[in-house]
Structure 1
């Protein structure tokens, strides 16, 4: 994941730099995709990403995925490379969303849909099809995580046996989750804690 930690109303083209995210494995293994230096954008590190996709190895193949707060697209493009059936990406920052679309076209990822949209507003509707895998990495210290969790359940965004990845600041502690979300894996890297939940729909 791959995220904005805060919104910025100012852009400074004269000093903007570009970085890259690298696809670790799968169809596009080794490809580097450009990322604009949008303020607060922090792509998920290769080390964390490799751990996450080791956790998801049995779940990502042919999965319908939703990536909230997509940012650089690091997790989305990795999922597609490893055999996800489709990924829906939500990204609020217009520049970041435009770069996601360029990267999608560059690698020919026809099974991805990108929305330049506010995730909370998007989740207030109901999906045509529930999702098997959901990535949640909201901006730090914006108090968005609990709202997202509630909307996912309330509006039936999750398949009965969905898996949910959450990346958040360590200081936040363990989030409150529905009774049918079971913590499967948990690790910490620096100031970030990342967790994988499995959902068992009664």
Structure 2
């Protein structure tokens, strides 16, 4: 895996071996950013189930200012730390070593882009997006980008957000919610 585009384009990304995390493939990540960007003029990103950190690092590479990455798995945290060091701009990243629901109690908004790629996607996504809205953590022009198995059917609306775009890439589905 590698960073697709932007300031870090072409740099390799480490990923966790085994089945603990499911890193977003280069193809899906590239398609995802073409849906939502592909480049940004600043802003903050929240990645609540960071895995290898690839989505947040790609977002910073493409122009976001700051990323908050949340990951509970110890091995994944080490991989994220290595990947952040690869950027040589570690000050742009904050790694929270905790559960996503715990992180929602401590993070400070607003966030312009939120990535959600949790295990057991449907239940967690609805609950998490609702919490993000209730805690006022989302910018007015927010994009909440959800990656799920293509079989998962997410609701048309969650809290005050509605589906803007939805596309299937192989076994993955990317759903983008906006206000």
When the two structures are superposed, what TM-score results if normalisation uses the length of structure 1?
A: 0.80
Specify whether residues 116 and 176 from structure 1 end up closer, same or farther in structure 2 by C-alpha distance, changes over 3 A only.
farther
Q: Deviations over 1:54-88 (max 9, x none)?
A: 12226733020000101011111111111111000
Q: Structure 1: 5+ residue runs without aligned partners?
A: 1-20
Please state whether the residue corresponding to 2:167 is helix, strand or coil: strand
Please state whether the residue corresponding to 2:76 is helix, strand or coil: helix
Q: Which residue of 2 aligns with 1:119?
A: 100
When the two structures are superposed, what TM-score results if normalisation uses the length of structure 2?
A: 0.90
Specify whether residues 116 and 80 from structure 1 end up closer, same or farther in structure 2 by C-alpha distance, changes over 3 A only.
same
Q: Which residue of 1 aligns with 2:172?
A: 192
Q: Is the 8 A contact 2:23 2:51 kept in 1?
A: yes
Q: Deviations over 1:143-169 (max 9, x none)?
A: 322211111111111111211101112
Q: How many aligned residue pairs are there?
A: 178
- 2:41 counterpart of 1:61: yes
Please state whether the residue corresponding to 1:102 is helix, strand or coil: helix
The structure carrying a bigger helix percent of its residues is: 2
Q: Structure 2: 5+ residue runs without aligned partners?
A: none
The structure carrying a bigger strand percent of its residues is: 1
Q: Which residue of 1 aligns with 2:163?
A: 183
CA-based RMSD of the aligned residues comes to: 1.9
**Which structure would you say has the larger Rg?**
1
- Per the TM alignment, residue 119 of structure 1 is displaced from its structure 2 partner at its CA by 0.1
